[in-house]
Amino acid sequence: MIRVEILGMKKSIIWFLTIIMALTFAGLLYIQIMYMKNMVRMRDDQFAEGVKRSLYSVSNLLEQEEARYYLENDVESIESSALPAYPGAGSNLGGVRYSVTTTEGLSSDFTFTGEITALSPMLSAEAKKQRYNSMQEQVRNQYVYQRGLLNEVILSIISQSGNRDIEARADSSTVSMFLTMELANNGITLPFEFAVVNRMGVPVYKTSGYNTENSDSGNTFVQALFPNDTKNAMNYIKVYFPDKNDYIFSSVKFMFPSFLFTFILLIVFLYTIIVAFKQKKLTEMKNDFINNMTHEFKTPISTISLAAQMLNDSSVRKSPKMLEHISTVINDETKRLRFQVEKVLQMSMFDRQKATLRLQDVNANEVIASIVHTFKIKVEKYGGTIATELYAENAIVNVDEMHFTNVIFNLLDNAVKYRREDVPLKLEVATKDIADKKLEIIIKDNGIGIKKEDLKKIFEKFYRVSTGNRHDVKGFGLGLAYVHKMVHELHGDIRVESEINVGTKFIIILPLTQN
């Protein structure tokens, strides 16, 4: 039912449906591609942000480690330089008084308090005031000491950090540990390679798998190790992720089945459209065939009908000569009608199943000579000539003689049908031996020729060259289809060479009999 509806559609409707479906598939593919691109971009942005946060955290951790290093070393140095000034009067005085001179010349007196004794209520107001002032002095001195200590550390960091080698400030194992930890904190567990480079881009040290050729690729990220260093002393860390692309595109793997199914649907759709157009074309060719067949059958049927009417008409005088003439006409037209019906039945047989052939060894030269002798009368009727060059020394082929005869006859009949009206018909039939124990049969004419675009279609059923639904050239478009089918059934091959207004040459190649 669906097939009938498709074949009944106009070409414009089929084209309209094709365009609609094509636009639908194009839109679907566009949406899928854009969705995938957006997902990849989002995944890439998320990955880049995670790496940047990780590298920034690594930089902070390294700065904290360096500050801790200076605190531990400078505090120990400062405290070891502190000298006691004089002993206190006891625990109630708040402790021991020190005088400290830092390496930068900063001097401060302070009271280090081990224990603060509560004020006795028996003390006089003057004594309490004195004790209160002493406690204030104690806190002030402790603050001054701590501030001086921090100033000392900061001055040391500023003055000495730029002079230390980067390997000492950030060794490879520490950087690797911090990187692994911070990347994991941001959900990134991909393997990585890294290098620490100076401001000129020259690596100070790097991991074994780091390749400088990939340092400028999209899979490499850069961060200043100590951002507060001077520009001339700046060092950078470069981190390269070899598997970044696989990681990014892993998020869209689930889209591939969708693309596959869409592609399969597209192939099925295209195949359906191609079949629809072929069926539409086949329907038109069949309609053309029916029209031509009707014309081919109409003439002999009309002739036979007219002859029968003459025989039945009592008013017509029937002499023996007239009866003989009417009988001959009926016989000829019946043969003509039977021949046309037989051609249609032959093609119907080949459509259903493989032909049952009566194969036998025959001499191709003898069969062709007999056909040419019979066909010569028809050629001469149109003022033409037919010549033979049967030069094949071994022309024994294993064929069905009836079908082989029909093949040669159809090719000769086509040459007569498609002759040029203004040029005398000239036919040549030749045979010759070729390599691989094969026989070549050539049938050449000087007819109207065949266009290049038609050469690939002339062996299709119902196809008629340059005739369409015209009836000036008789036939059903089955002759060459039958020839092509029959030659291949005989394990042979056929090809055609043609040029407009020059002529056509059919070349048949058949295997010779082995014995």
As a whole number of angstroms, the distance between CA 29 and CA 9 comes to: 28
Burial (CB count within 10 angstroms: exposed 0-12, middle 13-18, buried 19+), residue 459: middle
Spatial distance between the Cα atoms of 98 and 85, rounded to a whole number of angstroms: 5
The number of CA neighbours under 13 Å toward the Cβ of 38 is 6
Place of tokens 């940047």: 52
Residue ranges, comma separated, of all CATH 3.30.565.10 domains in the chain are 354-511
pTM above 0.75, yes or no: no
SS (H, E, C) 176-229: HHHHHHHHHHCCCCCCCEEEEEECCCCEEEECCCCCHHHCCCCCEEEEECCCCC
Identify which of 411, 471, 415 has the alpha carbon closest to the alpha carbon of residue 289. Answer: 471
The number of beta carbons lying within 10 Å of the beta carbon of residue 256 is 11
> Bridge partners of 434?
438
CA pair distance 219, 187, nearest whole angstrom: 17
In whole angstroms, give the CA distance from residue 180 to residue 184. 6
**Neighbouring C-beta atoms of residue 302, cutoff 10 Å:** 11
Would you state the pLDDT for residue 6?
A: 47
At residue 469, the pLDDT reads 41
Tens-level pLDDT at each residue, the chain (515 residues): 444 444 456 677 878 888 888 888 888 888 888 988 898 899 999 999 999 999 999 999 988 888 777 766 655 555 555 444 434 444 444 444 444 444 444 444 444 444 455 555 666 677 767 776 777 777 777 767 666 666 666 665 555 555 667 787 888 888 999 999 999 999 999 999 999 988 888 888 888 888 877 666 778 899 988 887 777 778 899 999 988 888 888 878 888 888 888 889 888 888 888 888 888 877 777 777 777 777 777 777 888 888 888 888 877 777 888 888 888 888 878 877 877 776 666 666 656 556 678 899 999 999 999 889 888 888 888 889 999 999 998 899 999 888 898 899 889 988 988 888 889 999 999 999 998 889 999 999 999 998 888 888 888 876 767 544 434 555 556 778 888 988 998 999 999 999 998 999 999 999 998 76
Which helix (H) or strand (E) is 85 found in, with range? strand 83-86
Query: What pLDDT score was predicted for residue 128?
Result: 67
Q: Answer positive or negative: Cα dihedral of 488, 492, 498, 504.
A: negative
User: Under CATH, what is the fold of the domain 354-511?
Assistant: Heat Shock Protein 90 (3.30.565)
Q: What are the structure tokens assigned to 222, written together? A: 């850069």
The C-alpha angle with vertex 493 and arms to 488 and 495, in degrees rounded to 5, equals 125
Which residues are CB-contacts of 72 (< 8 A; sequence separation ≥ 6)?
A: none
Burial (CB count within 10 angstroms: exposed 0-12, middle 13-18, buried 19+), residue 397: buried
DSSP letters for 382-413: TT-EEEEEE--S--EEEEEHHHHHHHHHHHHH
The pLDDT score that the predictor gives to residue 102 is: 44
Tell me the C-alpha distance between 74 and 150, whole Å: 9
Q: Residue 151's CB: how many other CB atoms inside 10 A?
A: 13
Give all strands (DSSP E) within 278-395, no chain letters: 359-363, 385-390
Q: How many Cα atoms sit within 13 Å of 385 on the Cβ side?
A: 5
- Torsion angle defined by CA atoms of residues 13, 18, 24 and 29, in that order, rounded to the nearest 10 degrees: 180
CA 48 to chain CA mean position, Å: 30
Which H or E run contains 495?
strand 493-499
Q: What count of residues does the chain have?
A: 515
- The whole-number pLDDT of residue 376 equals 87
For the chain, the straight-line distance linking the first and the last C-alpha, in angstroms and rounded, comes to 54
Identify whether the C-beta of residue 499 lies closer than 8 Å to the C-beta of residue 420: no
What does the alpha-carbon distance between residue 113 and residue 134 come to, in Å, rounded to a whole number? 11
Helix axes 364-381, 401-417, angle to 10 degrees: 30
Contacts for 503-506: CB closer than 8 Å, 24+ residues apart: 503/444, 503/445, 503/446, 503/447, 503/449, 504/415, 504/418, 504/444, 504/445, 504/447, 504/449, 504/450, 505/442, 505/443, 505/444, 505/445, 506/411, 506/442, 506/443, 506/444
Calculated CA dihedral for residues 480, 482, 483, 484, nearest 10 degrees: 90
Q: Are the C-beta atoms of residues 292 and 469 closer than 8 Å to each other? A: yes
pLDDT at residue 515, as a whole number: 61
Q: What is the pLDDT of residue 429?
A: 95
Closest CA to 374 of 388, 361, 360, 362: 388
8 A C-beta contact, residue 397 and residue 511: yes
Cβ-contact 182, 59 below 8 angstroms:
no
